[in-house]
Structure 1
Amino acid sequence: MGASNRNTRVALAISAFSCLLFIIAFATPYWLITDGRLQNPRFTNLGLWEVCFNNFQDIHRFYDTQFTGCMWVFEEEYYIIHDFLLPGFYIAVQLFATLCFVMCLVALPLTLSFLRTSRDDDRYVFLLLTIGTCQVLGSIFGFIAVIIFGAKGDSRDWMPGWQNNDMGWSFAFGVIGAALLLPSGILYMVEARRERYKRLNEIGNREVSEYGDDYYQSQAAGATAPTSVQSYFASEPSRPRRPQPGRLPTAPPQSSIQTDI
């Protein structure tokens, strides 16, 4: 099992919780809601992909069409108010929230593969780094989305009744999910770094051990057999010298034998 220590188990729990929160925020239409103080609010709630109106009519356009109920923001019926309904900041929020959602989806199969991978597998460190990178990027994208929406979502020049519009629970889920993706991704990357250094140390210790065994074996063999240097400087057995030219060889002195006559 991949999650075999404390860091990976904590990272797995945080990442699962944060991705779940952000997916709920991504799909639910309660990023901006009315506070309920108005009796007949023209705007009720809005998400990233759905908006709900109540007899809404854009006062900046000369038409009699009124919108009631909840529909997809790209619905064909809303084409006459697209310039009002889809300002630039709202498109940017949708874009960055979608990128964060995609990073969560990419990390899901990688996490399942990580859970089935042994620590001795060569893919173990790669999976840790990939999951951590996806979650850190997802956290950055999610932060950008919630910051933009928090700054512009309840502005007076967008949805009607801006004085009574508040951030909803879907927005809160998005903030918490984006915030928790960062520490979970960092934990995965820290664990990958730790595992890589551990493997490098094991390889280094193995090489040192093998080198040490060969060295001591060569030393033991050198103690019993003479080395090439010693054999080179070893003294040779004595042999008779060649006589010089012009000189007769002298016989070696013989020991005199004295006899008593």
Structure 2
Amino acid sequence: MKTRSLAGNCGIGVFVIALVTVAVAFGTPNWLVSDYRIRGARLDRLGLWSHCFRSLPDPLDQYQRRFFVGCRWVYDPFTTGYDRIRGYLLPGFMIATQFFFTICLIGVIISTVLVLIFFLCAGPEQRRFILLIRSIGYTMLIAGISGCIAVIVFACFGNSDGWMPDHANNYLGWSFGLGVVGSVACIVCSALFLTEANIQAKKRKRLKESQARFELEYESKA
């Protein structure tokens, strides 16, 4: 039996795309960016875990005596007053985006181990070969659905009025675009691996039938 079909080989290629795009989108701070042509913009860019401000007034200080400048981790414990505006920086939709995209990344990481086993070690003669392929397919499906939920939520609320300043001059950045590509790639990868599992199951069934037919013919001749 041939180790992999075209669906399996394509699934590995699409998986590599999903792995790279999801990982880069997860760690880069360009989900929402400010128009670089606007000189007075208070936001520079933000990601899931870090924010970069040019001059953000403390939203809890009505006298605007404190401003936040530069890039910081969203859970930064060292900057004075930064912990007090965490509720402003992480509204409900942002926490939901973080949660679902983290599930997406975890699914891709788990699938990385399984895909390496599928690519380097496993073969059709092994009993759990089809189970391995299906596990990759369903894990990537969960990752893709979670990633899609994350990017849809962020697209709907990330640039809404009332959150980041100067929302009319902000737009979704390339990190968000990679998140979209990675989430879609996860679903495509899932479809390819589930197709591969179906193909391998049919091949195994045909092989067993041919072996049984050969044994019957051999016994009849004997």
TM-score (norm 1): 0.78
1:169 aligns with 2:174: yes
Q: Match for 1:186: what amino acid?
A: A
Range with bigger deviation, 198-207 or 137-146: 198-207
The TM-score with structure 2 as length reference comes to 0.91
| Alpha-carbon displacement from aligned partner over 1:193-228 (angstroms, at most 9, x marks no partner) | 1111221222233223333444565xxxxxxxxxxx
3-state SS of 1:51 partner: strand
1:152-201 residue CA offsets vs partner (Å, 9 max, x unmatched): 00001100000100000000011011111111111111111111122122
Q: How does 1:88-237 map to 2 (within 5 A)?
A: 88-116=92-120, 117-215=122-220
Task: Tell me what 1:69 maps to.
Answer: 70
**Aligned-pair distance for 1:60?**
4.7
**Separation in 1 of the partners of 2:49 and 2:90?**
11
Structure 1 residue 150 displacement after superposition:
0.3
Aligned 8 A contact 2:148 2:180 in 1: yes
- Identify the residue that residue 25 of structure 2 maps to in structure 1: 25
Cα distance in 2 between the residues matched to 1:156 and 1:48: 19
Q: How does 1:8-47 map to 2 (within 5 A)?
A: 8-47=8-47
Using the alignment, how far apart are the partners of 1:162 and 1:19 within structure 2? 31
Out of 90, 95, 106, the position equivalent to 1:86 is 90
Q: Which has the larger radius of gyration?
A: 1
Q: RMSD between aligned alpha carbons?
A: 1.8
Cα distance in 1, alignment partners of residues 88 and 3 from structure 2: 49
Aligned residues: 216
The within-5 A match list for 1:48-63 is 48-62=48-62
Q: What amino acid sits opposite 2:123 in the alignment?
A: S
- Alpha-carbon contact 1:17-1:177 (below 8 Å) kept: yes
Structure 1 residues 61, 201: CA separation in 2 closer, same or farther (over 3 Å shift)? same
Question: How far did residue 59 of structure 1 move?
Answer: 4.1
| Partner AA of 2:107 in structure 1 | M
The separation in 1 between residues aligned to 2:3 and 2:86, in whole angstroms, is 48
Structure 1 runs not aligned, ≥5 long: 218-261
